Structure 1
């Protein structure tokens, strides 16, 4: 990245990423330090002192890990953060905004607003870095802090916020991507008629059924045609295989010839093949049984 031409959003995004690396490295260092502390608290000659994970050799390895993690942290500060911060101050700084990280959090122009507390957690809105306060308020709407932006128009403060904390946005996008991938996977397996309508196969005609109950003739169900819906390519190919397997000696009641053309056309359309190829493949599968 060319720091002299990079936008505030690009620079602040890189700064946020660097702090993310530091947080991960710091967490790893602290876990190693906690284990060292546990080892140091073990009584000499106790059962735990003889366990390999608490041995002097293990402690020495942990000390080396702490040193490596700290060296990596220092490198991020020196090699990544320092140049980015220097460019920020070289330009005379730019606007930055922070969203209080809770369900009713407001957007602030800095982290020293008197409506917040030392324990308040913020989400840095790096995508709004360098944005004018007026544009920020227009996006923040009801979430704009009236102490940080006392001049904010009342009509703007009535609008729903269009801002989202980076971590929440990342989580939402991941959920949406996962949902879209699942839908795409399902669509790839699904099958319909070429016109998009459900692929139904005829299973038979059922006459009206009547029974005698308490001396009265009762109609159980009227005459009707019954159908099954094939929802996946796997099911449709299986139906064709079963059709050719079971219909060798004549029509099978479960695999009716009335539906053969529809299923052939649907599979051919789904696989991008001609009907006769699909028919031949189904016959081969049936013969291999």
Structure 2
């Protein structure tokens, strides 16, 4: 995201934004090259009207490139003002090395890199320790032999982003989940295994409402089923109380209106 004041930003924050701008700039340049080529071809074929239709898109690509260059300028200036900071790049091929600079003599013009912006400004010893055997011996000649024998723990920003997204999804799923107080699956007699809090709350209201209906119909005949529905409600209430660190009485009072609503909506008119 854009940085308002580069002088207070961390090296990592600055390089993350520079990397984003570099990618956006590269896409715009690729688009511009393609559009210009198509534009020339149309003009050579005498299709001036079609060529003219491309000109707004060409101008937009030029503007994007200019905007990226303008946005990057103060960030690069801040890098220079601070006398630079450590940076690291990972070669994107199997067994690719981590380099201090993409200008390392062991790399080529066609070499593809992932800029490890999360390591920008970090101590070089830390970078080498994380890189392990992936540390380039040209870029980090002083890396201890024992470190170079360790597996690499380096991850690209894209991998870290995917892991963060996965963790967020897991967190969201956990927030919706429900288990028995001991952490085992919440299993009930009438509603089977309940996995989400939403379902637990709905089934709690249904269990008590339906038990009430059965009692009104014939309490003696439905005694066992009534007991099972009440037991399911008790198990659900205990699970909800454990999840939220609340008392069962507190939750029972909170859920009472939902139970009554369920009764009125589903069962009050049954005979």
Q: TM-score range by the shorter chain?
A: 0.7 to 0.9
**In 1, Cα distance between the equivalents of 2:163 and 2:88?**
21
**In 2, Cα distance between the equivalents of 1:74 and 1:276?**
62
Asked if structure 2 preserves the Cα contact closer than 8 Å seen for 1:108 and 1:144, the reply is yes
SS in 2 for 1:117: coil
Out of 4, 14, 17, which is 2:17 matched to?
14
Out of 97, 121, 130, which is 1:139 matched to?
130
**In 1, Cα distance between the equivalents of 2:46 and 2:209?**
72
Please list every run of 5 or more consecutive structure 1 residues that lacks an aligned counterpart in the other structure: 45-54, 204-226
2:145 aligned residue? 154
TM-score, normalised relative to structure 2: 0.73
Structure 1 residue 105 displacement after superposition:
1.6
SS in 1 for 2:90: strand
Please list every run of 5 or more consecutive structure 2 residues that lacks an aligned counterpart in the other structure: 242-250
SS in 2 for 1:99: strand
1:279 to 1:82, Cα distance in 2 relative to 1, 3 A: closer
**In 1, Cα distance between the equivalents of 2:223 and 2:139?**
73
Structure 1 residue 253 displacement after superposition:
6.4
**Greater fraction of residues in strand:** 1
**Greater fraction of residues in helix:** 2
Structure 1 residue 128 displacement after superposition:
1.9
**In 1, Cα distance between the equivalents of 2:31 and 2:86?**
33
SS in 1 for 2:84: coil
Q: For residues 28-63 of structure 1, what are the alpha-carbon distances to aligned partners after superposition, in whole Å with 9 as ceiling and x for unaligned?
A: 54565566467558797xxxxxxxxxx92x542321
Out of 59, 78, 99, which is 1:67 matched to?
59
Out of 251, 254, 262, which is 2:231 matched to?
262
**In 2, Cα distance between the equivalents of 1:137 and 1:247?**
72
| Count of residue correspondences | 250
Q: For residues 134-187 of structure 1, what are the alpha-carbon distances to aligned partners after superposition, in whole Å with 9 as ceiling and x for unaligned?
A: 2321222222112222221111122333321112211222233233323433x1
* 1:287 aligns to 2:268 (yes or no): yes
Bigger CA radius of gyration: 1
Structure 1 residue 197 displacement after superposition:
5.8
* 1:85 aligns to 2:54 (yes or no): no
1:279 to 1:263, Cα distance in 2 relative to 1, 3 A: farther
Out of 193, 217, 222, which is 1:249 matched to?
217
Q: RMSD in angstroms over aligned alpha carbons?
A: 3.6
